[in-house]
Structure 1
Amino acid sequence: MNIILHKVNDLQIGQRHEDGYINLTKMAQASNKKLNDYLRLSTAKAFIEKLSTDTGIPVSGKNGLVQVHKGGNNKVAQGTWGHPQVAINCGQWCSPEFAVLVSKWVFNWITTAQNSVKESFDSSNQFSDVVKAYIESSQALNRVIHTAIHQQTDSLREALKFLDTENHVIINCLEAESKRIEQISHVTHTICIDLIQLPPSQPRRYFDPQKLEELSHSIKELGILEPLLVRPVTGGNYELVAGERRYKAAQLAGLTEVPVVIREMDDVTTSKVKIVENLQREDLNPIEETEGILELLALQLEWDRNEVTSQLNKMRNVCDRYGEDSEVRHNVMSQSETKTIKELFASLGRMSWESFVKNRLPLLNLPQDVMEVLRDGKLEYTKARAIAGVKDEQKRKEILEDALAYNLSLNDIKRKIKEIEQQVKPESLSIKDQVDNTFRKLKQSKVWEDPKKKVKVEKLLAQLDALMVDDVS
C-alpha cells in the first residue's frame, strides 16, 4: 500500500496513492474527537448514502466509501479510511479549517493522478471520466465548504452578539449586587461593646480628658449619633476601624452596647481608612497629623516612613536648587512616586506638600520633652518649634513649664528666649572676644547704608588706629 503522509498536530494522517482514500480515524484524533461520533451523525449518514447512490460505490465494506483496515504491523494503515469526498465531509465536521486542508489534499492527489496518467498512458475514457467526476464533485464540495464556513462565521457573529448581551446582563447584575452590598455595608447594627477590640496600631493616640468627659455626658443623654466603623476578626469579635473617641466616651458613659457599621476590609484598606478618618478631624494635633500623613504615604507608595521622608526632602531640595526649566527638576518631579505624593496632598486638601516638608517634618526632630506636650495637644506647634530652639535643656524646661502654666503667647515665648540669650554677661568675655564680637556684628549690620552712622564708624576706627600707633611706638 503506497501511502502519502500528511502531518497535522504531530500526527501522521495517511492518504492512499492509488484511490485517494484518507485515514478518517487519524483525522478525528488530530482534532481531539472520536470518529464514531461523526459516523453516528444523521447528516453524515445521509451524505454517505447519497454519495453511494450517485457513484454506485457501496457505503461500507472492502470496496466501500468507508473501509476499516486492521493494517497488520503497519500502524499507518490501521483505522477507518474514507473516500476523498467522505474525507472532506468529515473534515468539515472536524473544523472548517480541517475541511479546507483535506480539500487541498484531495485536489493535489487528483492533479498528481492526472499528470501520472498523461505521462504513462493515453488517458482511457473510463479513468478520465473518474477524474472529471472527482474534480467536479470536489469543486462542488469546495463550494459547499465555503458556504459552511460562511454559515459558521455568521453563527459565530450571532454567538458573539449573544455573549455581548449576556455580558451586559452580567455587568448589570454585578452592579446591582454591588449596590446591594454597599447598602448593606451602611446598615447600622447594635453589638456588645466588649466584642470590640482596639487595633495594635492606632494613628490617634491622645484625647483631651475634659473633652472626652463632655462627650461622655452627651452620649449618656443623647446616645451615639454616629455609629462606629468596625470589621470582623477571629473569634466572633470586631476590630475598631474608626471612632475611637466615641468608643472611649461610650466606655466612660457605661454603655454595654453601641451602634456600629460592619465592613469586610483587608489590612491595607483598614489602615488607610483609619488614617484618613483621623486626618479629617479638626482636633487632631500636628504631631499625629504629620505621622498620619507619612503613614498614609508609606501605604500608598509601599515604602517605609524613612523612604517617604527622604523622597519629600529630595523634592524640596530639587525645587530650591533648580529652576522650573531644569532637566534635573523635571526628572525628579515627573517620577510616578512624586505624582502620587502630590495627588495625595491635593486629595487631603489640608496643606501642600511644600508646606508639609517645611513646617511639619521638622516637628519629628523636636526634643522629647517638647514632642510630648505637642503630641498631647497642650501646646501649639509654632510655640513648640520656638521653644525647641533653646539648646540648654534646663532653660528649655523652664520656658516650657511657663508656657503651659501661664498660656504664654508666641511673642511672650520669643521674648523670654531672647532674655535668656542676653543673660550671658559681657564681663565674662575677654576684651579680645568682645572686640571680635563687635566687629562681627559690625560686618553684619547695615550701618554702612546710613551716611551719619558711617561717619561715626570712621571716626571710631581712626581713634582705634591712633591707640594702636601709640601702643606700637
Structure 2
Amino acid sequence: MAKATKKQALGRGLSALLNDPSNDIQSAEDKNADKVIGNIVDLDIDFIEVNPFQPRTNFSEESLRELASSIKELGIIQPITVRKLGLNKYQLVSGERRYRASKLLGLETITAYVRIANDQESLEMALVENIQRQDLDPIEIALSYQRLIDEINLTQEQMSERVGKKRSTIANYLRLLKLDPIIQTGMRDGFISMGHGRALITIEDQSIQLDIYEKILSNKLSVRDTEVLVRNYNNDETVAAPAKKEANTAMPNFVKTGISSFSEYFGHKIDVKVSKNGKGKITIPFHSEEDFNRIKKLVEGDSK
C-alpha cells in the first residue's frame, strides 16, 4: 500500500502548476504545457465534472461499492482522463466509474491524465514519448498502449509504426491488462516481472491466476519455474476436459512440449484435441476482427 500511495503522489507538483492563476495553461503551445500533457496529475475531485455526452447513464450501486473497496485496498491502478476547460475546471473523458467510486469513498483528490482542450496530436506525441521512457513498469506501458487505442483510435499496426515496436510486442503488453488487478499491482511494485505476467495470462480464470501468483511470491519462483507450473496446469486442463469423450486420450508428449510455443506465437491460449489414432485438431481463438486480421497476417507472413 505504501508504494501505491507514493506512485499516486507523483503529480502533486504538477497539480500546483495547474492551480497557479498566473500560469493558466490553455493550449499545447503555452508555457509548461509539455509538463502536463501525458503526465499523471493529482486533481481536486471537486474540480471535475462528468461528461454530459457520456452514453452510459446507469451505474450499478453494487459494482461501484465493489470498485470503491478495491480502490481503498489497491488504489487506482489506471488514472482517469480529463480535459482542461479552464482554471480548476475539468471534464471527464474516461473513467467515470473510477471517478464515482472515488467520490463514494470521500477522496479529496484523484489521479488523472490531463488533456489540453482537444489537442489530440499533442496527446498522441506525449503518450508515444512516454512509452519510450526507460523507467516505466510493464503495466504503465500497457496502459499507455491502451490509451492510444481508446483515445487516439490507433490500431496495433499504427502503434507499431509510431513507437517502433513489433505488433506482437504491443499485443503482449496489452494482454497484461487481462491479469487480475492484484497481480497488475504486484507487477507495478516489482514483486513479479513481465515474464511472470506473460506466463500467468495464459490462464483465463483469475482465481487460478491468484493462486499461482501467491505460490510465486511464497516460493520465490523464477519465470522459468512459473512457466512450468502454468504449463502443467494448462496441460492438466486440456487433458481433463475431453476425457469424457471416448475419442480423446492422454495428450502425447510432442503436443505437451509444443503447445506453449503455439500459444506464445499466436498470442492466445491454443486448444489442442487428440484422438486415439493420433490425429488431432488445433483451435486458435480470436477476440475481434482486428485480432483475427493480426493472426491472419502472422500466417500469411510465414507462408511467404
Q: TM-score, structure 2 length as denominator?
A: 0.39
Larger-Rg structure: 1
